[in-house]
Amino acid sequence: MDAGIAPDNYHVLARRPGFLIRRLHQIHLALFAEACGTFGVTPVQYSILTVASAHPGLDQAALAIEVGVDRATVADVLARLERRGLVRRSRAARDARLKLVHTTVAGRRLLSRMDRHAQQAHERTIAPLPPADRAAFIDALVRLVEAGNGLGRAPLRLA
């Protein structure tokens, strides 16, 4: 405990949802890094690869909405993934302004190798909860995200 904080005030942050959500996110990032660090892929990169693999030929703007990141971020992440040979981008024939995203064979192989490890990180994030509470926790998170989705910097397509 920090010597400058009185014991009766130490847990004031423990009642703030925003603080706790941020802290849980930090914990999940650490668990993801531990489980997936050897792959050299961040959680956002993993999400983008996952969606791009599930929806071949999705345009960058739609991909950004599927993952809930802004267009500039998705473009930057895709450029890094493209340099690694994990995705390729091409112009749409019907509208040259659109960049279509495809995972490469190397990208799909990486996802296949990573999936079990990433799933372990997700499971470890909620492992302290009793098994009966885990689905309810996820449901509560979904409700919170749905309710506040319009407030975020980047929209997320939820359904």
Residue 79 has pLDDT above 60, yes or no: yes
User: The pTM is what?
Assistant: 0.87
- What does 29-84 look like in DSSP terms, one character per residue? HHHHHHHHGGGT--HHHHHHHHHHHHSTTEEHHHHHHHHT--HHHHHHHHHHHHHT
The residues that bridge with 16 in the sheet, in sequence order, are: none
Mean pLDDT of 119-146: 95
pLDDT one-digit tens code per residue, 23-74:
999 999 999 999 999 999 999 999 999 999 999 999 999 999 999 999 999 9
Tell whether 159 is covered by a domain.
Answer: no
Phi (first) and psi of residue 46, to 5 degrees = -60, -45
Tell whether 154 is covered by a domain.
Answer: no
Tell whether 81 is covered by a domain.
Answer: yes
CATH of the domain at 73: 1.10.10.10
Residue 4 has pLDDT above 90, yes or no: no
**Tell me, what's the pLDDT at 5?**
56
